[in-house]
Structure 1
Amino acid sequence: MKSTEKSEDFKSNDDKIDWSKQYEVVEKIGVRGYLQIHLEECKYIWRNMVPKSGQANNLQGEMLRMVVKLSNEAINNGNINWDDNFEWFCDFLKENLVSCGLFDETKIMKIKMILDYIKDNGNYARKYANGEISDNQVDILKLAYTDDDIYDYLSDAIAEYYLAHKAPISYEIKDFIYR
C-alpha cells in the first residue's frame, strides 16, 4: 500500500508543475515551434568548416559550433555545467549576428532575445549547481530550454550569414575557450 501512496504523492507533486510555462518566453519572442529552413547549409558548414574537436578557425564554423554547444548543454545536461565559456558564446554570437548587417530589426530583436534567454537560463542553472539556489527553491523551468526551435532559429541565422559570406572568414582561436 505504501508504494501506491508514494506513486500518488509523486504524481500529485508532478501535477503542480505547469509545464506549458516553459514556452511563454519563446512564444513572446515569436519562434515557438520554429522549424529549421537551412538544414543542408548547416550540414555543409558542420562537415566542412568545423573540426572534429576544438574550435574552428573560421567564423561561420565557430558560430555554428557555439550554437551546437549551447543546445547540447541545455538539452543533454539541463545547463548544469554552465560556465563562463557558455556565457561568452552567447555574447559573441549576439555581437556578431546583430552587427553583421544582414538582418532586419525584427530578426535582430529575436536573436538578441533568444541569446539573452539562453544566457538567463544558464546563469540560473549555474546558481543552482553552485548551491546558491536550494532544491526547495529551484524553478526547474528556469534551468534550461530543451526544445530545438530557438537553437534552429540561431542555426538558420548562421546559415544565412554563411550564404552571404561563403568564403571562410578567419577566426582567431581563443586560449580561454575549452568547450
Structure 2
Amino acid sequence: MKYFEQAKEIWSKYVPKSGQSNIVEGELIRAIEKLRWEAQSNGNANWDEGFEMLALYILEILNDNNVFKPDTLLDIQSDTNTLLNAENEPYLEDDLYDRLADWVIEWHIAKNGPIKREINPNLYR
C-alpha cells in the first residue's frame, strides 16, 4: 500500500467507533475495511445487501473521470466488481483492498478533502 499512513490518519480522524462516517473519505476507508474483514474473517458468510451497498458506494465515488485516467477507472471497476461478485467466492488477498484504499487517498488529494456526506439511513453495516 502506497498511502498506508494517510489511510490510517483518515481512519483515526473520520471513522467512528461504530456506524458510518460523515466524511466521504472516512466512509470509503470504513467500507473497504468492512469488506476486507468480512471476506478474510468470515468468508463472506454474512454477505447481504449491506455489504453490496458498501461496494457500490466505493464504485460510485471512485468512478470519477475528473480524478482518474481511463485505465485506472477500469481497474477500479474491475476491483469493485470482484467484490460485488464475491458472495460465494470471497476475495481474500490484501492487494485489491490496498489498491482501493490507495485510490481513496488519491481521490482525497485531488478533491482537497475531507468532503462531508450525509449518513445513509438504509445502511446498517
CA RMSD, Structure 1 to Structure 2 (Å): 1.2
Q: Which runs of 4+ in 1 moved over 2 A?
A: 164-168
Equivalent residues of 2:65, 2:73 under 8 A apart: no
Structure 1 residues 44-99: Cα deviation after superposition (integer angstroms, max 9, x where no partner):
10011111111000101001100111111111110110000111111111111012
Q: CA deviation at 1:178?
A: 1.1
| Bigger-Rg structure (1/2) | 1
Per the normalisation by structure 2, the TM-score is 0.94
Q: For 1:115 and 1:58, locate their aligned partners in 2 and report how far apart those are by CA, in whole Å.
A: 20
Q: Please name the residue that 1:77 is paired with.
A: 42
Residue of 4, 13, 24 corresponding to 1:59: 24
- SS of 1:88 mapped into structure 2: helix
Among the aligned pairs, what percent are the same residue? Answer: 36
Q: How does 1:1-179 map to 2 (within 5 A)?
A: 36-99=1-64, 101-122=66-87, 125=88, 143-179=89-125
User: Counterpart in 2 of 1:4?
Assistant: none
Question: How many residue pairs align between the two structures?
Answer: 125
- Aligned amino acid, residue 108 of structure 2: Y
AA in 2 matched with 1:103 = F
| Compared CA separation, residues 54 and 100, structure 1 to 2 (3 A) | farther
Paired residue type of 1:172: E
